[in-house]
Chains A and B, each alone.
Chain A
Amino acid sequence: QKEVEQNSGPLSVPEGAIASLNCTYSDRGSQSFFWYRQYSGKSPELIMFIYSNGDKEDGRFTAQLNKASQYVSLLIRDSQPSDSATYLCAVTPSGGSQGNLIFGKGTKLSVKP
């Protein structure tokens, strides 16, 4: 069973701090990794994707990938109350079956003013 694991949280950080969200995956053959943000009652929206080991930065967001450790993380710098949401990690399984993604259950982030 290919799995993606995330701490469900809630993760609570003060405004302006760095929020660190973590994700591990079981399928060593996974090649593509995605982070989605989901506000309460809304659908998930893509915020970052990463394919290569290392860091990828986009504004206040940094995705980090370590394929050897089967670990992907999302850092949010200068956290804002508007970042309060559930963050879903998703990976493509090996075998690439028609583009399916495997999702974690999400980490709920709360940024306190």
Chain B
Amino acid sequence: DVKVTQSSRYLVKRTGEKVFLECVQDMDHENMFWYRQDPGLGLRLIYFSYDVKMKEKGDIPEGYSVSREKKERFSLILESASTNQTSMYLCASISRIYGYTFGSGTRLTVV
């Protein structure tokens, strides 16, 4: 089974802090994704990557950046955290047959 691991389940950060969310997958998948999920808004794509050092903006990239230095690791960076970035963040990698496998999620609270 594909395993997607997110480093933290819960995080509390202060406004203005730089925040790193880490995601690692163990199945050599090329494509990885970062979403945020908010009540009533569903899943919204922030960034995705289809190869090392490659990245593409999703639907809501403002305030975020990403890093993919190794194939198995895809990091989401909040350059200067704000309260409107309080959310559940989900990382996923994809198999062509089975679709997405999601990590367990990081619930981020910015105070």
Contacts and interface: CB of A to CB of B under 8 A. Distances in A.
A36 B42 CA distance: 13
B64 interface: no
A98 B50 contact: yes
Contact of B100 (A41, A42, A46, A106): A46
A43 B43 contact: no
Interface string A91-107: 00000001111011110
B56 A98 contact: yes
Contacts of B104: 42-43
A105 B42 contact: yes
A88 B50 CA distance: 24
B101 interface: yes
Most buried by A among B43, B56, B101, B105: B43
Contact of B45 (A34, A43, A100): A100
Interface stretch (B11-19, B73-81, B90-98): B90-98
Contacts of A101: 94, 99-100
Chain B binding site: helix, strand, loop or mixed by DSSP?
strand
A99 B94 contact: yes
Given A99-B96, A100-B33, A43 B50 contact: no
Interface residues of B, number: 24
Contacts of B100: 34, 36, 44, 46, 90, 101
30 contacts: A32-B99, A34-B99, A36-B100, A42-B105, A43-B90, A43-B102, A43-B103, A43-B105, A44-B43, A44-B102, A46-B98, A46-B99, A46-B100, A46-B101, A49-B97, A49-B98, A98-B31, A98-B48, A99-B50, A99-B94, A100-B33, A100-B45, A100-B58, A101-B94, A101-B99, A101-B100, A103-B42, A103-B43, A104-B42, A105-B40
Interface of B: 31, 33, 40-43, 45, 48, 50, 56, 58, 90, 94, 96-105, 107
Interface of A: 32, 34, 36, 41-46, 49, 88, 90, 98-101, 103-106
